[in-house]
Structure 1
Amino acid sequence: MTAPSDVSVGYIGLGNMGAPMAERLLEWPGGLTVLDTRPEAVEPFTAAGAAAAANAAELAAGCDVISVTVLDDAQVRDVVTGPGGLLTTARPGTVIAVHSTISDATAVDLAAVCAERGVDLVDAPVSGGAAGARKGTLAVMVGADEAAFAKVREPFTTWAGLVIHAGPVGSGTRMKLARNLLHFISFNAAAEAQRLAEAAGLDITALGKVVRHTDAITGGAGAIMLRDTTAALAPDDPWFPILAHARSLGEKDLTLALELGDRLGVELPLGTQALADLGTGLGVGPGELAQQYSMKENA
């Protein structure tokens, strides 16, 4: 069996994310081959010692693990199964890792097509943005069977600070979508908080500094994502007093914020929803303040 460090790696797509990820593979012992439609993107890699392929088929013919970072589902399908695509030359045992955020259904469908050729396609979307890619600290969520995951884990550690085996093919994408659901809902919540602060005559750039500073200390929303289930907690569960305390603090502060919004004439729909749902979401049920606010609103 080929040692993980001896596998040859290919990288397709040298954009804002792909280039810094591939750059960290330049010293990979098994060698690196790159492909991009733009010669100017490829040139720094060949100057640093990487090989360049003219097309996906040429790259696949000489690589054991192939990373793909392109725009969307259509481009992924074209790279993998299109004319001159990876499957035209990929050898059995090759692993194709898709880092693009695509539909989980696309990942499962392409994996089935690849399996007919003895090739493993895994979905391995990343989180951490361009800054994380430049620092080599990305999180990568891999949907793969155990054997395929074992092949990609070591190459991925060159550019990722966290490599998670999310489950079978499709699981990496589903985890990324759940993560991004939180991300973009939090953007909406940030906008709501800014509206409240602005109406109160505050400097919202200063508020942003406070949020970034304290989230770096507390971990933000991820700080409560420690349980292995979302089921309701029994009162004797060790987590119950911890999360009940979080609920009490949250309901108090949400109530005060909503009262401020009422006085200033600022609608806070996310805040209202959060007060109603916080205790249930934490698994401890609504607290007294949430129940009182609900009765007041329904009166």
Structure 2
Amino acid sequence: MKAGVIGIGDMGSGLARNLIKAGLETWGIDLLPKRMAAFGDLGGHPADCVAEVGAHADVVFVMVMNGDQAKSVILGPDGLQGSMKPGGVVLLTATIKPREAREIGAALDGSGLHLIDSPVSGGYPGAQSGTLTLIAAGEDAAFARAAPAMEAVSSVIHRVGTKPGDGQTVKACLQSLIGAQFSATFEAAALAAKAGVPGEVILNVFSTSSAGCGIVNNALQKIIDRQFEGTGSHINTMHKDLTISMGLGEELGVPLHTAAAAMQVFHAGRTRYPDGDNWVCTRVIEDIVGAELHRNSAKKTR
């Protein structure tokens, strides 16, 4: 089997790393030359265009930022639809609107290509370590063909449906919860800072309590060590995902009060610190209260 990766950023580079590690010949492309160079250093085959990836690969992971980009690389004039061999599998691992995934699936109908709608969870650490959770929807034939590639990048594969859009719908529900967990963690960290509690105390207690989980623990570690940029979890991605969750709620008439509050926290964080990662939202609240949470202290800033 030969694999392909479209988008070799924080997440796509992890996909590529683990596909190569599993022994799959892997082709890839990204808009940034430095990412292409790093991909080549891993043992990947840098391509000149999306069509070249499609021409070489049996299974292609599409890890782009939004639905318009996904449509372009899959359905565009130089996209995967026109370059992959019949029987090939497109793995839509980007998080996009469910409606957009359905539109892509409809456009591929009759093309001879399979589509697995499979957004992922696990973030940068999961992508790099090959332990992502795949939230996958597709037909049996597609899963059977893509299994070696999917297993190379994940530790858990959930089959959540058979139709395009099913995976994205489950991911939108998940992100509404994760957004709320993030925003509550940011607020609790700022509360501790203002109260004068050292960050390590908060981390130790939270991580061993019923509230402790990967989301909370990782966010707190980044906050108390003041790691707000370059951690592989840029704020734009979660902001975009929450926009999708809110849009689905609007479409279905479901009130999402807590997710809406989280959306505003991330909106404020992205506006104030546009180059930051998710945890930088804490700094917005810290700026308001005049205190910062550090590992060994709570530092007053005014």
Say whether the fold is shared (TM-score over 0.5).
Answer: yes
Question: What is the deviation of 1:95?
Answer: 0.7
Question: What is the deviation of 1:43?
Answer: 2.4
Question: What is the deviation of 1:162?
Answer: 1.0
Aligned counterpart, 1:190:
185
Counterpart Cα distance in 2 of 1:156 and 1:42: 22
Residue 74 of structure 1: which of 68, 75, 78 is its match? Answer: 68
Q: 1:186 to 1:54 in 2, by over 3 A?
A: same
Q: 1:126 to 1:177 in 2, by over 3 A?
A: same
Is 1:106–2:87 an aligned residue pair? no
Higher relative contact order (CA 8 A, sep 6+): 2
Q: 1:124 to 1:195 in 2, by over 3 A?
A: same
Aligned counterpart, 2:155:
161
Higher mean C-alpha displacement, 111-120 vs 29-38: 29-38
Is 1:181–2:176 an aligned residue pair? yes
Q: 1:79-129, CA deviations, whole angstroms, 9 ceiling, x for partnerless residues?
A: 111121111222221111111110111111101111221111222111111
Is 1:170–2:168 an aligned residue pair? no
Q: TM-score, normalised by structure 2?
A: 0.64
Partner amino acid for 1:190? Answer: T
Q: Is the 8 A contact 1:127 1:140 kept in 2?
A: yes
Is 1:57–2:51 an aligned residue pair? yes
Question: What is the deviation of 1:29?
Answer: 4.1
Q: Is the 8 A contact 1:142 1:149 kept in 2?
A: no
Q: Secondary structure at the match of 1:37?
A: coil
Aligned counterpart, 1:255:
none
Question: What is the deviation of 1:39?
Answer: 2.7
- Runs of 5+ unmatched residues, structure 1: 1-6, 222-268, 271-299
Q: 1:10-57, CA deviations, whole angstroms, 9 ceiling, x for partnerless residues?
A: 111110111022111114444211111223222233344332221111
Counterpart Cα distance in 1 of 2:19 and 2:214: 30
Q: 1:193 to 1:85 in 2, by over 3 A?
A: same
Q: Is the 8 A contact 1:107 1:122 kept in 2?
A: no
Q: 1:53 to 1:184 in 2, by over 3 A?
A: same
Q: Is the 8 A contact 2:134 2:156 kept in 1?
A: yes
Partner amino acid for 1:9? Answer: A
Among all aligned residue pairs of Structure 1 and Structure 2, give the percentage whose two residues are the same amino acid. Answer: 30
Q: Secondary structure at the match of 1:9?
A: strand
Q: Is the 8 A contact 1:153 1:163 kept in 2?
A: no
Q: Secondary structure at the match of 1:214?
A: coil
Counterpart Cα distance in 1 of 2:6 and 2:74: 11
Q: Is the 8 A contact 1:92 1:118 kept in 2?
A: yes
Q: Secondary structure at the match of 2:54?
A: helix
Higher mean C-alpha displacement, 28-37 vs 121-130: 28-37
Aligned counterpart, 2:209:
214
Q: Is the 8 A contact 1:149 1:165 kept in 2?
A: no
Residue 36 of structure 1: which of 7, 30, 37 is its match? Answer: 30
Aligned counterpart, 1:231:
none
Q: 1:160-204, CA deviations, whole angstroms, 9 ceiling, x for partnerless residues?
A: 1111111122221112111111111122333554576567x3517
Aligned counterpart, 1:149:
143
How many residues are treated as equivalent by the alignment?
216
Q: Is the 8 A contact 2:181 2:215 kept in 1?
A: no
Q: Is the 8 A contact 1:8 1:31 kept in 2?
A: yes
Aligned counterpart, 2:39:
45
Higher mean C-alpha displacement, 211-220 vs 100-109: 211-220
Aligned counterpart, 2:123:
129
- Runs of 5+ unmatched residues, structure 2: 217-256, 259-302
Counterpart Cα distance in 1 of 2:157 and 2:22: 17
Aligned counterpart, 1:225:
none
Q: Secondary structure at the match of 2:91?
A: strand
Aligned counterpart, 1:91:
85
Q: Is the 8 A contact 2:2 2:59 kept in 1?
A: yes
Q: Is the 8 A contact 2:7 2:63 kept in 1?
A: yes
Q: 1:223-249, CA deviations, whole angstroms, 9 ceiling, x for partnerless residues?
A: xxxxxxxxxxxxxxxxxxxxxxxxxxx
Counterpart Cα distance in 2 of 1:218 and 1:140: 19
Q: 1:52-75, CA deviations, whole angstroms, 9 ceiling, x for partnerless residues?
A: 221111211121100011111111
Aligned counterpart, 2:9:
15
Q: Is the 8 A contact 2:62 2:91 kept in 1?
A: yes
Q: TM-score, normalised by structure 1?
A: 0.65
Question: What is the deviation of 1:154?
Answer: 2.2
